[in-house]
Amino acid sequence: MSKQVVSCSMGTPLANRLSLPLRLALWTGGPYIASMQYMAAVLLAHAKEIRDDGSIVEIAIWELPEPLPPSTHPYKYSLFYGTPGTRRIGYDNERGKGDHRHIGQREEVYVFTTLEKLLEDFRRDVEEWR
C-alpha cells in the first residue's frame, strides 16, 4: 500500500509521534515564521498525506508567543482526516472556542495536555474510524 506525501516539513522531535510514512517524509530545517492573527507564529510541523483510498491526513502545528484564548497553551493546531469536502476526524483550536475535536458531525471539547498526547489521540481516532 503506497501513500503519497504532498507536502511536509518538521522542525521538532514531533516527527517521532507521526506515522512511519509521514515520519520518513519529514525533513528538518529552520522553523518557518508566519503571522497568525497579528501574532508571530513558528510552524513546528506541517504534513499532508493522500492515501491510496483517497483519504487525506493533514497536520499543522504552530507555536505562538502567547496562548490563543481560551486555550492556556502556546500552540495553534489543525489536524484533519477525511476526504475532499468531508471531515471525518478533526482536532483544532481557535480564538473564542478553544481546544475541540470533531468526530463525524459531532463536535466536543478536547482537553489539551501535550502535543504528543494530541497526536496520539488523533491517531487513535483515525485508526478507530478506519
Residues 9-29: tens digit of each pLDDT: 444 445 445 544 444 444 333
Please calculate the CA angle 13-18-22 and round it to the nearest 5 degrees.
105
Q: Can you give the pTM of this predicted structure?
A: 0.72
- For β-strands 3-10 and 75-83, DSSP reports them as unpaired
Query: Which of helix, strand or coil describes residue 76?
Result: strand
Sorting pLDDT into bands at 50, 70 and 90, what band is 42? confident
Q: How many independent structural domains does the chain possess?
A: 1
Instruction: State what percent of residues in the chain have pLDDT above 70.
Output: 70
At 130 the pLDDT is 79
For residue range 77-105, list pLDDT tens digits in order.
Answer: 999 999 998 999 999 998 889 999 999 99
Per-residue confidence (pLDDT) for residue 40, from 0 to 100: 78
Kindly report the number of other CB atoms within 10 A of residue 118's CB atom. Answer: 24
Q: What is the pLDDT of residue 70?
A: 93
Structural domain boundaries, residue 102: 3-129
Could you tell me the three cell numbers for 128?
Answer: 478507530
Retrieve residue 67's grid coordinates. Answer: 496562548
Instruction: Using CB atoms within 10 Å of the CB of residue 105, give its burial: 0 to 12 exposed, 13 to 18 middle, 19+ buried.
Output: exposed
